[in-house]
Structure 1
Amino acid sequence: MNITSTFPLRAQSCPDSLFMETETKTFTYGEWEAITKKAANWLLSFGQPGETVALTAVNRWESLALFCGAARAGWTFMPLDARMKEAEKEERLRMAVPRIFIGKEELEAVGEMILNTDPTDFCCHDEEAVFYSGFTSGSSGVPKQFARGHRSWVKSFEAGLSDFPLNGKEAAIISGPVHHSLFLYGAAFALYSGQKLILHEKFLPHQCARTMKNEKTFVFYAVPTMLESLLQMDLDLKGRGIVFLSGAGWTAERKREWMERHTNAALYEFYGASELSFVSYMTPDDYKRKPASSGRPSTGVTIEIRSGGRVVPTGETGVVYVKSPMLFSGYAMNGSYRMDIGEDGFYTVGDAGFMDEEGYLYIVGREQFMIITGGVNVYPEEVERVILNHAGVKEVAVTSIPDVHLGERIICFYTGTAKPSELQTYTKSSLSIEKVPRKWMNVDLLTYTTNGKIARSEVKRMALEAFK
């Protein structure tokens, strides 16, 4: 069970069919199989299976060749964000100790070396072998290195084929950065399922719109900011497609607007995490019936809501625990990967939520970010979702500072044109008074982690400094 195991079959059955299209090069199924073998051999010339190749990953064919070559060679592929500061990159390299590091400026030359390398027939068949490693933002601000094995992603491919209306004939459009798990996964799924892969070097709304219009049927992977940009355009999508949305922050109203305006680009959404892969998914029908939910459990996934070590009744909020064949291999600790999983096979990343009577999951927020104010548990994400619905708000981050009477006082930072008094009134109309921020601050920008999430430790620092 290797994520490249389908490549040889297609190379034999349709070697001359177009498989991948980038802005500098195209590949047939036969050519990509050869590239993968060459990349594997190039890596093996530097070391044995089990080594790590780290690179500043940009959306070029060379990045995906190294990804596939590493998977076949039994190596671990570790992509780094090109926007990282030097100190951030060095911190991650110290943690991972890769055998090879390839900078952005070296990638093209490495591609030429791969093209001039003889192919190898060697292929790692250990389904638990780690082939991909990345970093999540730890609660303390220190990055945590996670790893995934072949079996977990192959099982997630199978779940995707089961849960979504795909037949392998779609063109997969990847325009988000491949250092991000969502877009790397989208590319890997296309390579595994045989979808034609169209790789854009970066997200340009007009380019994406043109590609979607020109393809007979397509799959487009997106985060909310990408779809927000496309909503500003007068799209004319002649082909039928699927838009896969992941990442918190897009409101139910904007999702509804997308579906009303783009009936040929059905919106599907999945909730998951780098450690969990798919957990639940939403279909267009689910948006109509349960717009506030995160959908039903994905194929092969069992969800339990627990509090104090017990499973809580339907409708009661607790910590979301997941049992799945798609779980990660663990976090890096002292040269190996470990995960704190129970004997029953359930694992949690600390998200809080509840299940309704029909088995739909609702995510409230992250347990570690919970604020206790006046004895009431408040999740920043819940408050942020409400505030984002205001037309005068672009970005929002909610945190807290100590308060002698309340325990914690809720603080809100936001960008946009709305006045604090407007937001105070607006938020009161949708949330109980305990959840309404006591202090508001309009700022020029908010800080995000390299994974595109709110840098909550930095927001907390800003609040403590601003409201001493």
Structure 2
Amino acid sequence: MNITSTYPLRAQTCPDSFFVKTKEQAFTYKEWEDMTKRAASWLLSVGHPGETIAVTALNRWETLVIFCGAARAGWTFMPLDPRMTKVEREERLHIAAPRLLIGKDSLAKTGQLIMNTEPTDFCSNDGETIFYSGFTSGSSGVPKQFGRSHRSWIKSFEAGLSDFLLTGQETAVIAGPIHHSLFLYGAAFALYTGQKLILHEKFWPQHITQTLKEAPSFVMYAVPTMLESLMKTNDVEGEGIVFLSGAGWTGERKQQWVTQYPNAVLYEFYGASELSFVSYMTPKDYSHKPSSSGKPSTGVEIEIRQGSQVLPAGETGTVYVKSPMLFSGYAKNDSYEMNIEEDGFYTVSDAGYMDEDGYLYIVGREQFMIISGGVNVYPEEVERVLLKHTGVKEAAVTSIQDIHLGERIVCMYTGNVDPTRLKSHAKACLSIEKIPRKWACVDSLPHTTNGKIARSDLKKMALEVFK
């Protein structure tokens, strides 16, 4: 079980057909298989299976080749957001301690090294090997490293093939940043199933609409902000499937897309880095279950629990998932551990309920996590940075609804510092998507009886302050 195991067959059956295209390069099926072998060989010449390579994951062919080569060689691929600050990057590197680090200025050179390396036939075949590692911030705001095995993603590929109307003849259009698990998954799915793959360097709406027009049939992965931008162009043509994830898009906007672009069929799935697919929405669901997260994906069982009690339909509790697609756990003491229930169910502490028809509804995602522009942002992580400013006494971050971003991050604080200076402080330590869009210095913040920020009251306060 290796996510690259299907490459050799296609290299043999259609060697000279176009497979992967980026701004700089184009590869046939045979050429991509050869490059994957060369990347694996290069890694094995500088280290051993089980080690980690961290890559500043620009949307370039070199990033994808390193990802595939690492998977084949039994290494772990860890993508880093190019927009990370030095502080954020060093914190994650300290936790993961990768064997190799490829910065954005080294990608092209690494690509040349790979091209000049003799290929290897070695391929790791242990399905439990961790091939991909990423980070979630966690409720404390401290990054938590997680790992995914070959088996978990192959099972998710199988679920996708079962749940969605795919023929394998589609062209996968990857226009979002591949350091984001959604877009890396979309690329890996295309490579595994043999879909032709076009990797865009950046998300430019006019370029994307042109690609969609030219593709006989497309598959595009998107978060709400991308679809909002495409709708503004009023130029979405061609036939295909759009996979939406990231939450934050209203039922009304989804229905508008379905009505306006009937040939760009919209599917949506709910999931998490730890869970992979949990449930999915079909175009029909937007009309009669617009606020739901859909029905369970193939192979997934969902229960709503309160403690050890399984709740009936309509009652809100903690969402528990049993699935062959679960992650391998969080990194701890040179291994990966997960706090899974004895019966095989796992939760990321999302709150929700199931209705009588078996549809899942998510009420809150990991308590107070904000999803802005498809990016998960934990208030605690932002607050931790803001409190380092000497002029801040208390800081609290929440969100207000935004039609473009889904949620707009806002900050209220007490102390003696100008909002402009505090924003500059945040920019020095946080990537752009985590920086609050609105700021307000207030007299006091709401607290619970034990002295913590009262998040529900904070949300109400934000609606008044940022009218």
Q: Contact 1:409/1:438 (CA < 8 Å) preserved in 2?
A: no
Q: RMSD of the alignment, in Å? A: 2.4
Q: Distance in 2 between matches of 1:150 and 1:194?
A: 17
Q: Distance in 1 between matches of 2:306 and 2:290?
A: 25
Structure 1: which amino acid aligns with 2:285? Answer: D
- Deviation, structure 1 residue 368: 3.4
- Residues 111 and 367 of structure 1, relative CA distance in 2, 3 Å threshold: closer
Q: Contact 2:368/2:455 (CA < 8 Å) preserved in 1?
A: no
Q: Contact 1:401/1:408 (CA < 8 Å) preserved in 2?
A: yes
- Residues 16 and 273 of structure 1, relative CA distance in 2, 3 Å threshold: same
- Deviation, structure 1 residue 408: 3.8
Q: Distance in 1 between matches of 2:174 and 2:124?
A: 27
- The aligned residue for residue 25 of structure 1 is 25
- The aligned residue for residue 395 of structure 1 is 408
Q: Distance in 2 between matches of 1:228 and 1:103?
A: 32
Q: Distance in 1 between matches of 2:5 and 2:164?
A: 22
Q: Contact 1:409/1:437 (CA < 8 Å) preserved in 2?
A: no
Q: Contact 1:397/1:412 (CA < 8 Å) preserved in 2?
A: no
Q: Distance in 1 between matches of 2:166 and 2:213?
A: 18
The alignment status of 1:7 with 2:7, answered yes or no, reads yes
- Deviation, structure 1 residue 439: 5.5
Q: Distance in 2 between matches of 1:358 and 1:116?
A: 57
Q: Contact 1:281/1:295 (CA < 8 Å) preserved in 2?
A: yes
Q: Distance in 1 between matches of 2:286 and 2:61?
A: 36
Q: For residue 233 of structure 2, give the secondary structure of its aligned residue in structure 1.
A: coil
Q: Distance in 1 between matches of 2:405 and 2:47?
A: 55
TM-score (norm 1): 0.83
The alignment status of 1:157 with 2:157, answered yes or no, reads yes
Q: Distance in 1 between matches of 2:140 and 2:134?
A: 17
Alignment of 1:296-375 (within 5 A): 296-366=295-365, 368-369=367-368
Q: For residue 350 of structure 1, give the secondary structure of its aligned residue in structure 2.
A: coil
Structure 1: which amino acid aligns with 2:250? Answer: T
Q: Contact 1:251/1:385 (CA < 8 Å) preserved in 2?
A: no
- Deviation, structure 1 residue 438: 7.3
- Residues 403 and 279 of structure 1, relative CA distance in 2, 3 Å threshold: closer
Alignment of 1:245-260 (within 5 A): 245-260=244-259
Alignment of 1:254-273 (within 5 A): 254-273=253-272
- Deviation, structure 1 residue 334: 1.1
Q: Distance in 2 between matches of 1:28 and 1:287?
A: 38
Alignment of 1:1-400 (within 5 A): 1-237=1-237, 239-366=238-365, 368-369=367-368, 387-388=401-402, 395=408
- The aligned residue for residue 428 of structure 2 is none
Cα displacement string for residues 413-440 of structure 1 (whole angstroms, at most 9, x for unaligned residues): 7xxxxxxxxxxxxxxxxxxxxxx55762
- Deviation, structure 1 residue 157: 0.2
- Deviation, structure 1 residue 47: 1.1
Q: What are the ranges of 5 or more consecutive residues in structure 2 without an aligned counterpart?
A: 370-378, 380-397, 413-444
Q: Distance in 2 between matches of 1:76 and 1:321?
A: 28
Q: Contact 1:412/1:441 (CA < 8 Å) preserved in 2?
A: no
- Residues 141 and 263 of structure 1, relative CA distance in 2, 3 Å threshold: same
- Deviation, structure 1 residue 392: 12
- Residues 57 and 92 of structure 1, relative CA distance in 2, 3 Å threshold: same
Q: Distance in 2 between matches of 1:315 and 1:438?
A: 29
Q: Contact 1:272/1:279 (CA < 8 Å) preserved in 2?
A: yes
TM-score (norm 2): 0.83
Q: What are the ranges of 5 or more consecutive residues in structure 1 without an aligned counterpart?
A: 371-379, 414-435, 444-468
Q: Contact 1:224/1:246 (CA < 8 Å) preserved in 2?
A: yes
Structure 1: which amino acid aligns with 2:174? Answer: I
Q: For residue 128 of structure 1, give the secondary structure of its aligned residue in structure 2.
A: coil
- Deviation, structure 1 residue 248: 1.6
Number of aligned positions between the proteins: 407
The alignment status of 1:441 with 2:465, answered yes or no, reads yes
Q: Contact 1:323/1:346 (CA < 8 Å) preserved in 2?
A: yes
Q: Distance in 1 between matches of 2:406 and 2:76?
A: 41
- Residues 209 and 344 of structure 1, relative CA distance in 2, 3 Å threshold: same
- Deviation, structure 1 residue 259: 1.1
Cα displacement string for residues 271-299 of structure 1 (whole angstroms, at most 9, x for unaligned residues): 00000000000000011110000000000
Q: Distance in 2 between matches of 1:153 and 1:367?
A: 22
- Deviation, structure 1 residue 170: 0.4
Q: For residue 95 of structure 1, give the secondary structure of its aligned residue in structure 2.
A: helix
Q: Contact 1:57/1:63 (CA < 8 Å) preserved in 2?
A: yes
- Deviation, structure 1 residue 385: 9.8
Q: Contact 1:410/1:438 (CA < 8 Å) preserved in 2?
A: no
Cα displacement string for residues 233-254 of structure 1 (whole angstroms, at most 9, x for unaligned residues): 12140x2111100002111111
Structure 2: which amino acid aligns with 1:401? Answer: P
Q: Contact 2:249/2:406 (CA < 8 Å) preserved in 1?
A: no
Q: For residue 23 of structure 2, give the secondary structure of its aligned residue in structure 1.
A: coil
Q: Contact 1:173/1:220 (CA < 8 Å) preserved in 2?
A: yes
Structure 2: which amino acid aligns with 1:323? Answer: K
Q: Distance in 2 between matches of 1:306 and 1:295?
A: 18
Q: For residue 12 of structure 2, give the secondary structure of its aligned residue in structure 1.
A: helix
